[in-house]
Amino acid sequence: MHSVSNQDSQQTPAITQRLIIRELATQDYTSVWHAMQQFTDQRNDSTPDQLWLLEHQPVFTQGQAGKEEHLLFPGDIPVVKVDRGGQVTYHGPGQLMVYVLLDLKRRNLGVRQLVTLLEQVLIHLLSPYGINAYAKADAPGVYVDGAKIASLGLRVRKGCTFHGLALNVDMDLSPFSRINPCGYAGMQMVQCKDLGGPQTVAEAKQRIVQCFSQQLNAAALQHTTGLDWQND
């Protein structure tokens, strides 16, 4: 688990401890993806890190390593080829998306450390509900009894990350049967609602912000809405 000692936190610039939490309504995937790219291209050394929290309209996304063979029968759900790592997954209403827009160099984080941090955020979120979630060394994401409850996918550009994680909260899981989730045939998907976890996306949002604040040593949280980050 990545953590920051008290001594380290005293030496951390205030900009690193500031974290903007941007809550959005349900969005189509492509517009948010392009906004993440634009934000990352335009940010500089003084741009605060951000978390974007939202849900998506139904979509399959195929990562850079994605193979067509894992799209079994997408049907009427659009497929978007994107610039994150990983294979193919599904996003839809009732699934909490958290896009993680961090300056890794400023936070002295490696990509593997960030993946571990994201997994720990999810594990810590679910633990108070009595859900024994865990990560796998060979398959990024978070699992419960062999079934996947959350997926991860990242892109690093200019030392900064975008994309992030998807937590199944209270959604229609059936579209996952149209693909091999994350490239694994027969991968079972589960969700918080069925395991006694957060029952709504709003509840999961509140919990995950607390977990991120702890893991990132964010002393100053700024909550906002909309995609007009130029005015933050």
pLDDT in tens, 168-195: 999 999 999 999 888 888 889 999 999 9
Catalytic: 182? yes
Binned at pLDDT 50, 70 and 90, residue 115 comes out as very high
13: confidence class by pLDDT, cuts 50, 70, 90: low
Numbered residues of the known binding site for substrate: 84-91, 151-153, 164-166
Alpha-carbon torsion (103, 84, 79, 206), positive or negative: negative
Specify burial of residue 204 (Cβ count, 10 A radius: 0-12, 13-18, 19+): buried
What percent helix, strand, coil does the chain show, rounded to 5?
Answer: 35, 30, 35
Report pTM: 0.92
Which helix H or strand E contains 168, and what residues bound it? strand 160-168
Maximum CA pair distance of the chain?
54
Query: Domain 6-222 classified CATH 3.30.930.10?
Result: yes
Does residue 140 surpass a pLDDT of 70? yes
Interval 97-102 mean pLDDT: 98
Q: Is 148 exposed, middle or buried (0-12, 13-18, 19+ CB in 10 A)?
A: buried
Would you say residue 112 has pLDDT above 70? yes
Averaged confidence pLDDT in the chain: 91
Which value, to the nearest 10 degrees, does the dihedral of the CA atoms of residues 203, 205, 210, 211 take?
Answer: 110
Those residues with Cβ within 8 angstroms of residue 210's Cβ, 6 or more apart along the chain or in another chain:
none
